[in-house]
């Protein structure tokens, strides 16, 4: 079957002979409809995040229809349109039993340490394939997984209705934090050096911050070292900084500033299973996260999708032909 695979740093190819998906007794096989492009995928493509072997199937933010089920899966699941929760915690370790599945040391991740979902069919554990709410468009369904990240970040920040917050970075994750904050009744402001991304955030209802204003809550979504500096600089005394973006490059940080302002810095790694993902699925019809989608590519142009995702505003996604719509 066809799949988009990494063959070397920066080299993405579409192959026609990827092995067929094998369905275990607790699995379902999806006919993939679309896959979102994420910063983690770009890190894999760039060689900044190691994968077990090459060639390597890319992608993790997948949606599709269940076309095959394992022996232990309810027959009623056949034909369901689903979003994949691509992080598979073991559900047995101390972290998992405490409800902290995001930090499971045995977590399997599609596209990272498990072959990815950018292929015509993919097998996933049935419990991690979430049925789409009735009438939810593919555009919204494909954004459910990163929406779960945004909602978890808001919860860890303890963002309150009416509270003003600053979002550093207007990439896909920053835009979803904007939408989620607005839905909560908070007031989001955004900074980003990329004019197109900033304009997209404003189009979706965010504002640009007044100069020198401090914010009680700051979300750092870019992962750039300069983003952390900006977040600390713009955080008000007794404020909370939630870090979503990741970088292996050390960032300068003044402990004097953190201590003098009594700032709280908190990392936010994905979400916890199952409650956080269930919340994202339930809230997607109201939040309509697909509004952040801009760059759309067919599977045959997967290499272009990854090459252009860094500069295109909004979120990039890759669709399969059976959507029966032209690429745009």
pLDDT in tens, 127-150: 999 999 999 999 999 999 999 999
Query: Quick one: which H or E segment has residue 241?
Result: strand 235-243
Query: CA 33, CA 198: separation in Å to the nearest integer?
Result: 29
Q: How far is CA 187 from CA 143, 152, 176, 208, 324, in A?
A: 22, 18, 14, 11, 38
Q: What pLDDT, on the 0 to 100 scale, is given for residue 237?
A: 98
Residue ranges per structural domain of the chain: 3-131+289-323, 147-267
Instruction: Tell me the C-alpha distance between 34 and 21, whole Å.
Output: 17
Nearby residues of 189 by Cβ (< 8 Å), 6 or more positions away? 164, 165, 166, 167, 206, 207, 208, 209, 215
Question: Residue 93 contacts by C-beta under 8 Å, 6 or more apart in sequence?
Answer: 104, 105, 106
- The pLDDT, as a whole number, for residue 321 is 72
- SS3 label, residue 324: coil
Euclidean distance between the first and the last CA atom of the chain, given in angstroms as a whole number: 24
Distances (CA, A) of 229 to 13, 250, 277, 307: 37, 11, 31, 28
- The answer to whether 135 and 255 are in contact (CB under 8 A) is no
Per-residue pLDDT of the chain (328 residues; tens, 9 = 90+): 999 999 999 999 999 999 999 999 999 999 999 999 999 999 999 999 999 999 999 999 999 999 999 999 999 999 999 999 999 999 999 999 999 999 999 999 999 999 999 999 999 999 999 999 999 999 999 999 999 999 999 999 999 999 999 999 999 999 999 999 999 999 999 999 999 999 999 999 999 999 889 999 999 999 999 999 999 999 999 999 999 999 889 998 989 999 999 999 999 999 999 999 999 999 999 999 999 999 999 999 999 999 999 999 999 999 997 544 433 3
For the structural domain made of 147-267, what CATH number should be given?
A: 3.40.50.720
Both tokens assigned to 121: 């069919």
CATH architecture, domain defined by 3-131+289-323: Alpha-Beta Complex (3.90)
**69 Cβ contact list (under 8 Å, min separation 6):** 23, 27, 28, 29, 75, 77, 78, 126
Contact 264, 133 (CB under 8 A): no
Write out pLDDT tens, residues 200-242. Answer: 999 999 999 998 899 999 999 999 999 999 999 999 999 999 9
Q: Comparing C-alpha atoms, which of 143, 159, 268 is closest to residue 204?
A: 143
Please list, in sequence order, all residues whose beta carbon lies within 8 angstroms of the beta carbon of residue 56, skipping any fewer than 6 positions away.
5, 6, 44, 115, 116
Instruction: Supply the pLDDT for residue 322.
Output: 56
């Amino acid at each position: 079957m066809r799949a988009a695979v990494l063959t070397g740093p920066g080299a993405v190819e579409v192959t026609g002979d990827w092995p067929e998906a094998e369905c275990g007794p607790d699995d379902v096989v999806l006919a993939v409809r679309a896959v979102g492009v994420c910063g983690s995928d770009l890190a894999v493509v760039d060689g900044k995040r190691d994968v077990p072997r090459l060639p390597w199937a890319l992608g993790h933010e997948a949606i599709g229809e269940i076309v095959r089920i394992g022996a232990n899966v309810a027959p009623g699941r056949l034909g369901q349109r689903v979003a994949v929760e691509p992080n598979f915690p073991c559900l047995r370790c101390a972290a998992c039993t405490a409800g902290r599945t995001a930090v499971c040391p045995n977590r399997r991740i599609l596209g990272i340490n498990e072959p990815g979902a950018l292929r015509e069919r993919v097998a996933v554990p049935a419990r991690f394939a979430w049925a789409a709410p009735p009438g939810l468009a593919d555009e919204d369904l494909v954004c459910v997984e990163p929406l779960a990240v945004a909602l978890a970040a808001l919860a860890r920040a303890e963002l309150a209705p009416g509270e003003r917050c600053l979002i550093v970075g207007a990439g896909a994750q920053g835009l979803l934090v904007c939408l989620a904050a607005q839905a909560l009744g908070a007031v989001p402001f955004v900074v980003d050096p990329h004019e197109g991304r900033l304009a997209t955030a404003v189009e979706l209802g965010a504002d640009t911050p007044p100069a020198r204003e401090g914010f009680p809550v700051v979300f750092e979504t870019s992962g750039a070292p300069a983003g952390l500096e900006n977040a600390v600089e713009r955080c008000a005394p007794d404020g909370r900084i939630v870090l979503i973006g990741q970088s292996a490059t050390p960032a300068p940080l003044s402990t004097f500033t953190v201590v003098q302002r009594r700032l709280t810095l908190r990392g936010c790694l994905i979400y916890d299973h199952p409650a956080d993902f269930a919340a994202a699925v339930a809230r997607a019809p109201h939040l309509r996260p697909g509004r952040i989608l801009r760059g759309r590519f067919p599977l045959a142009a997967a290499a272009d999708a990854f090459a252009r995702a860094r500069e295109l505003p909004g979120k990039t996604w890759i669709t399969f032909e059976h959507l029966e719509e032209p690429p745009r």
